[in-house]
Structure 1
Amino acid sequence: MGALLERIIADHRQRRRGSRREGDNHRDFVDVLLDVNEAEEHAGAGGGVPFDNEAIKVMILLMFAAATDTTYTTMVWAMAELINHPHEMRRVQDEIRAAVGVGGDRVTEEHLEKLRYLKHVIKETLRLHAPLPLLLPHETTEDTQLLGYRVPARTRVIVNAWAIARDPATWERADEFVPERFAGDDLTTDYMSAQDFRFVPFGGGRRGCPGVAFAVPSMELALASMLYHFDWELPAGGASKLEMDEMNGLSVRLKATLHLVAKPWSP
């Protein structure tokens, strides 16, 4: 993977040199990262962390592993859980359709604040099926002291978010899909609370996921739209309930391909 990313960066650097001569304005995500790299080189060393090729490769990997793959994986898990829990499916659909109203024809961002149960469904999906069960590793840059322990520089720390979210000492019915648990005032409503670390699908603190404010509304809007416009069921003649076995990859996803029948709904 490292060699592939090095080649991608080298190809972009070469194309950028030709683009400046030919007036080609084609740009993509790698070009944005290279802009930062070149601006830093032009400004000279400032004493901060260098944004070099290694940093660019990390950002590209983060975009694929922690942004794209995780979002659609969470959507699949949410639909699978709702299909296996018809009562919760009806409840969230009723909420969405009531919020959009008789005169509405689609879900918009303005509706999301009214969809409290939908938010509970997504949180419970992330609790049970964190796309990255082991959060992205962090590494200390210098020797430090933490709670009386000496932590040497370059110590790698990996947080098991899956185990935290299924800890029976913290969660009642820890292995069951119960969106209502997030309706309680005693449970965190913040994905990255600095005070409550029972639920950390996006990490937490200064090193938490910087894309959470974009990822969560995107998932809410996409899931709400699917549940508003269609009624969903399993194909006829198949199993009456989905198997929820997991498969590892860039993220932890549903092992079996999710096949559902969508029936258009109209007010």
Structure 2
Amino acid sequence: MAELIRNPQKMKRVQEELDDVVGLEPKVEGYDIDRLPYLDAVVKETFRLHPALPLLFPHTAERDCEIEGYMIRKDAQVFVNMWAIGRAHTIWKEPFEFMPERFLEEKNREIDYKGHNFELIPFGAGRRQCVGYPFGICMVHLVLASFLHSFDWTLPTREQIDMRDEFGQMLKKAVQLTAVPKPRQLRYPHHVY
């Protein structure tokens, strides 16, 4: 939400996509999600820039191996820094910019959350992958789609959003987002919202 509020043209694009797919229905359904490619690109871009876990759970090397010129000894613990991967100039063009469109480009269109594309593994990969990722992905898409379909969002003041992260076991915003919703579809009674 913070990235979309900072980039109102991108929020508008998601809302237009929602209007085209969901139409005048009061709520977004699960079957709508597969028909919302720009919303999916926004979620992927958010996971790239703001992964919930900056360091994935550690892995232990089963045997000595060499990776990118580094020798990893058997039984060494390896931490994957998702936060750094999401900001790597060697992987991403303009890595510090919020650009969901990058996931609509031909070369990035097939990047998914399932652990096959190591550029974006917010839920890990392999045997250590989060077992709840299908539910998590579904909920993030549905909640974000519902918020954007039902409301226009603004800041309560003219101040800029503080996008600094607070690092810990989980990554969170250093300063919480405060946003003001305004109903988009005024033909519904207020209790629908």
TM-score interval for Structure 1 and Structure 2 normalised by the shorter chain: 0.7 to 0.9
Matches of 1:139 and 1:152, distance apart in 2: 8
Q: Match of 2:174?
A: 255
- C-alpha displacement of 1:164: 1.2
Shift of 1:250: 3.9
Does residue 166 of structure 1 match 2:87?
A: yes
Q: How does 1:109-124 map to 2 (within 5 A)?
A: 109-124=30-45
Residue 180 of structure 1 corresponds to 101
Q: Aligned partners of 2:49, 2:167: CA distance in 1, in Å?
A: 15
Name the amino acid aligned to 1:132.
L
> Residues 228 and 150 (structure 1 numbering): CA distance in 2 closer, same or farther, change over 3 Å?
closer
What secondary structure does 1:159 align onto? coil
Q: CA deviation at 1:202?
A: 1.5
Name structure 1 gaps, 5 residues minimum: 1-78
Question: In the aligned structure 2, how far is the partner of 1:159 from the partner of 1:242?
Answer: 29
Question: Which secondary structure does the structure 1 equivalent of 2:51 belong to?
Answer: coil
* Greater Rg over alpha carbons, structure: 1
Higher normalized helix content (fraction of residues): 1
Return the offset for 1:230: 0.7
How many pairs are equivalent? 182
1: distance between equivalents of 2:176 and 2:66? 45
Q: CA deviation at 1:150?
A: 6.2
Q: Is the 8 A contact 2:155 2:179 kept in 1?
A: yes
* 1:138 CA displacement: 2.1
Partners of 2:166 and 2:94 lie apart in 1 by 23
Question: Which one-letter code corresponds to 1:95 in the other structure?
Answer: E
**1:10-63 alpha-carbon deviations (Å, 9 max, x no partner):** xxxxxxxxxxxxxxxxxxxxxxxxxxxxxxxxxxxxxxxxxxxxxxxxxxxxxx
After TM superposition, the runs of 4+ consecutive aligned structure 1 residues lying more than 4 A away are none
Matched residue, 2:50: 129
| 2: CA distance, partners of 1:157 / 1:134 | 10
Q: How does 1:236-251 map to 2 (within 5 A)?
A: 236=157, 238-239=158-159, 241-251=160-170
Which secondary structure state, in structure 1, belongs to the residue aligned with residue 47 of structure 2? helix
Deviation at 1:171, TM superposition (A): 0.7
Provide, for residues 198-246 of structure 1, a one-character-per-residue CA deviation record: whole Å limited to 9, x for no partner: 222122223222221111011000110011111100114x41x212011
Q: Offset at 1:193?
A: 3.9
Higher relative contact order (CA 8 A, sep 6+): 2
Matching residue within 13, 18, 23 for 1:101? 23
Please give the alpha-carbon distance, in whole angstroms, between the structure 2 residues aligned to 1:220 and 1:258: 19
SS at match of 2:131: coil
Whole-Å separation in 2 of the counterparts to 1:211 and 1:157: 22
2:114 and 2:142 map into 1 onto residues whose CA distance is 20
Mapping of residues 195-214 of structure 1, within 5 Å: 196-214=117-135
Query: 1-side partners of 2:104 and 2:81: how far apart?
Result: 25
**Secondary structure of the equivalent of 2:64?**
strand
Over the residues paired in the alignment, what is the CA RMSD in angstroms?
1.8
Q: Percent identity?
A: 40
Name the CA distance, whole Å, in 2 between partners of 1:190 and 1:118: 14
Kindly report which structure 2 residues correspond to 1:4-43, keeping only aligned pairs within 5 A, or say none.
none
Alpha-carbon distance in 2 for matches of 1:250, 1:198: 21
Cα distance change on mapping 1:170 and 1:246 into 2, 3 Å = same
Structure 1 length-normalised TM: 0.64
1:157 maps to 78
